[in-house]
Structure 1
Amino acid sequence: MAGYALIGKGEPVFANFSRMLSEGIQPNFITFVVLLNACTVSGLLNKSQTYFQAISKDFGIIPLLEHWTCMVNLLGCLGESINVENMVDKLSVIPDMVLWCSVLGACKNWGSLRFAEQVFENIGIN
């Protein structure tokens, strides 16, 4: 599944995930990282939100930093600046530099100096 996501082919990832579930194979946190990455390369916001919610709601897995970073990447790629800001406000994990760099990359794409300044304050760069 990860190989398909890496080469930008989301549909085989989603098909294999469905097959996993139908065969009674339980996903783990890595499965959801792969699914969210596949959504990112495919530009599928609604599908990614469904998977993100299912992580804890349907499978009892606590979303990890990797899951949050995938969502921020996708939202940033789609130009969803308000949603990135909202997601950062809702983080249930301690962000790392990878997540902050994803947010800053998105800020650069949108030209959002205000939010970039807030990010710099959060990571202690003045």
Structure 2
Amino acid sequence: MSSTAKHYGVGQTWKSGPGGSISISSNKSGSYSTTFTGGGGMTVGILVAEVKADVSAGATRTSSWSTGYTFNRNIPAGKYGNVRYGTWGHEVRWERYYEQPNCNKTQRTTGTGKVANTAHGFRYWSTNS
């Protein structure tokens, strides 16, 4: 299994600039659910268990939050600041091999998944426009 850390944003993206600062205060609830493509006996439960064991102990089927938050950030001169709230998680790829009675491995299946995590927060990035 290979994985890449990702932020899965939910809801709107706030944007401000150019330059200056961005400040967001909000009370919001939301959720993000683990999804996957592929088959070969893979289920959301199995995928979450494998990611929890191999990649992140915070992996979960659904990440939910209901929180009040404030976010402040200075924006570099000439740039626009972008902010989105969501869950931190992992994008994963897997391969499965089936072992035959003669111990040969065959029938490979592959898939991808977007796995939610119990960690929530903001992702900030700046752009030129």
TM-score interval w.r.t. the shorter chain?
A: under 0.3
Structure with greater proportional strand content:
2
- Greater C-alpha radius of gyration: 2
**Larger RCO (CA within 8 A; separation ≥ 6):** 2
The structure where helix makes up a greater share of residues is: 1
